[in-house]
Structure 1
């Protein structure tokens, strides 16, 4: 039981052991805590956006040339632009949620804003994981459908020592394993980072709901 739970218990039972707090005082504590959580969601989203943007800038030209060989360079750039636009929209929504929660002085409205924020974060998580899954599947379908180009990248000297069928199967299995691991890591990252904040928001929502009873 945390400090807020103790204070709520005291407020309800009117015990003299702890200072008695009014409904408004407890509400203000929950309000402040909710506003802080939404602010951190906004900050983490900005940090995440900056990290991936910086990572894209550090990608070597040789990596881009691989996509060019498969005629995916334009698709890659277009998908990146669309992704940045979508993330910018989410950043705006997170900022808007933070600003709106900061000035709310009504319990029911605050509860609705908390639910709205949790939904926005969940949509953001689903979008990022879904985007990675879709793009990875598209890129792999295109690359493995052009086996000649793929084998040329693997064996640029065209040596006779390479078993093309075996190499193709090894690469396919490796890509599947890497894909599963990356999806698992993404899910774990969002579950840990955003999941903690969402659980705290859910707890605040329940606290507000109990105040309304």
Structure 2
């Protein structure tokens, strides 16, 4: 039982002569918890950006040279710039939601800000997963549309002693499996990290609904 539950329990035991004070105490606690949750969403989003940016810097140049053979490097750089721009927009929206909740003074308005924050988080999660799927499909379509170049880039000098057709089939199956696994891992990550925060935020919303009646 957390601080809010204890406070509600005490509130129910109090005499009717102090309802306003008890209501305000509970509202302030919900307000504080909601503000803290949204702040953590904002912080986690920034940490994710720093993590993926750092990871990109560690990608070996030799690995990127493969994309040069398919004339994909420019496309990937442009996509990356657009992606980071969109992520910065989400970070701004999370910060804006945090500031808005921090200064909210009425129950109805706080409930509206919580709903808005939940929508923003869901859009952010769906965007990241959809982007990965879209980029994977585009890149693989281009690569498999140039089978000779793909075999030359990924199986030089026939290091894997298989026919070209069989190698392409192996790569196709491997890419599909990798796509499914990575999407699954991303979904699990977002469900755990953001799911927990949204669940707590949703609980705060329901507590506010209770206060309204």
TM-score category, normalised to shorter length: over 0.9
Aligned length: 209
Instruction: Look up the match of 2:25.
Output: 25
Equivalent in the alignment of 2:97: 97
Bigger drift between 119-128 and 55-64 goes to: 55-64
Quote the RMSD (CA, aligned, Å).
1.7
2:200 is the counterpart of 1:203: no
Evaluate the alpha carbon distance shift between residue 167 and residue 193 of structure 1 in structure 2; reply closer, same or farther with a 3 A threshold.
same
- Distance apart, 1:155 and its partner CA: 2.9
Structure 1's consecutive aligned runs of 4 or more residues displaced over 6 angstroms after TM superposition are none
Measured in 2, the distance between the counterparts of 1:94 and 1:8 equals 29
Give secondary structure in 1 for the equivalent of 2:71: coil
Distance 1:21 1:178 in 2: 56
Say if 1:106 and 1:168 are closer, same or farther in 2 by CA, change over 3 A. same
Q: Determine the structure 2 residue equivalent to 1:9.
A: 9
Mapping of residues 49-60 of structure 1, within 5 Å:
49-60=49-60
Gaps of 5+ in 2: none
Deviations along 1:181-203, one digit per CA (max 9) or x if unpaired, are 00000000000011000000000
Alpha-carbon deviation of 1:167? Answer: 1.1
Match of 1:173 in 2: 173
1:67 equivalent in structure 2:
67
Preserved CA contact (<8 Å) 2:38 2:98: yes
Between the aligned partners of 1:184 and 1:140, the Cα distance in structure 2 is 19
Alignment partners' CA distance in 1, 2:14 and 2:50: 49
**Could you tell me how far apart the structure 2 residues matched to 1:188 and 1:197 are?**
14
Which structure exhibits the higher relative contact order, with contacts defined as CA atoms closer than 8 Å and separated by 6 or more residues?
2
**What SS does the aligned partner of 2:157 have?**
coil
Contact 2:41 2:94 in 1 (8 A): yes
Residues 135-160 of structure 1: CA deviation (Å, up to 9, x unaligned): 00111111111100011123322579
- Provide TM-score, normalisation by structure 1: 0.93
Structure 2 counterpart of 1:35: 35
Alignment TM-score, normalising by the size of structure 2: 0.93
